[in-house]
């Protein structure tokens, strides 16, 4: 008698999950397009094709919408890290990840949040999925950074945390969009250019 119920529940949950996935995709795109402050909940609802009040049944606030999008992004990052070839050197692993984040940014799929909004920060830090993902990603990148420094591939005199921040910052680097606006280079050229300035620096070698 309880052989059917799990299926019905699972189906309902699948519908719920699909709806929430659609919401998160819309939020992700709008966050990438206009940023958190300029994104309105009405736009999100319109893009998903549901009423605004329905949105609030899924997520209790605009901040939680953004946090869910960031948690989703962390999940994507974790999945990408799993695909990075083990055979690569730690340095090349890091370069691969940074290439991926810059590709997302140039493709308009990288949500951007203001680092100054305090209520948003509180919601983010209260989101377990996001925080767990962030810690996992940071740990794995941190391991590669330390390995690359031990090999002498990355400057060992730089604090590992500074290297990590520098790599994260490439995901929201305004140089990417400025170069894209100039329309002088393809996305791939822009990525290799910024990757070069990031790892090799501006100075001649």
Q: Which residues bind DNA (CB under 7 A)?
A: 12, 16, 19, 39-42, 49-54, 56-58, 60-63
Choosing among DNA, a copy of itself, none, which partner's interface includes residue 58 (Cβ < 5 to 8 Å by kind)?
Answer: DNA
* Residue 57 C-beta: closest distance to a copy of itself, Å: 28
Dist. CA 86–CA 93, nearest whole Å: 8
Where b means 16+ CB within 10 Å and e means fewer, 1-27 reads eeeeeeeeeeeeeeeeeebeeebbebb
Both tokens of 177, joined, read 């969009």
Report d(CA 27, CA 21) in Å as an integer. 10
The one of DNA, a copy of itself, none whose footprint includes residue 159, by CB under 5 to 8 A per kind, is: a copy of itself
Nearest in space to 177 (alpha carbons), one of 76, 69, 72, 32:
32
Which of 81, 131, 147, 175 touches a copy of itself (CB under 8 A)? 175
172 binds a copy of itself (CB under 8 A): yes
Chain residues binding a copy of itself by CB under 8 A are 33-35, 37-38, 91, 114-117, 152-156, 158-159, 161-163, 165-166, 169, 172-175, 177-179, 182, 184, 193-194, 196-205
């Amino acid at each position: 008698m309880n052989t059917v119920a799990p299926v019905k529940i699972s189906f309902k949950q699948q519908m719920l999950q699909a709806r929430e996935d659609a919401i998160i995709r819309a939020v992700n795109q709008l966050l990438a397009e206009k940023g958190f402050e300029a994104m309105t909940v009405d736009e999100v609802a319109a893009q998903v094709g549901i009423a605004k009040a329905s949105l609030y049944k899924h997520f209790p606030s605009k901040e939680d919408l953004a946090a869910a999008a960031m948690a989703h992004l962390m999940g994507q990052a974790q999945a990408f890290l799993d695909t990075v070839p083990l055979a690569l050197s730690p340095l090349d692993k890091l370069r691969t990840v940074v290439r991926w984040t810059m590709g997302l940014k140039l493709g308009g799929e990288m949500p951007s949040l203001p680092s100054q909004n305090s209520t948003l920060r509180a919601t983010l830090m209260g989101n377990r999925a996001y925080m767990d993902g962030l810690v996992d990603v940071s740990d794995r990148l941190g391991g590669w950074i330390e390995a690359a420094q031990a090999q002498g591939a990355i400057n060992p005199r730089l604090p590992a945390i500074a290297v990590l921040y520098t790599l994260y910052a490439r995901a929201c680097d305004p140089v990417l969009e400025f170069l894209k606006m100039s329309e002088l280079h393809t996305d791939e050229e822009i990525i290799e250019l910024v990757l070069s300035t990031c790892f090799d620096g501006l100075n001649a070698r």
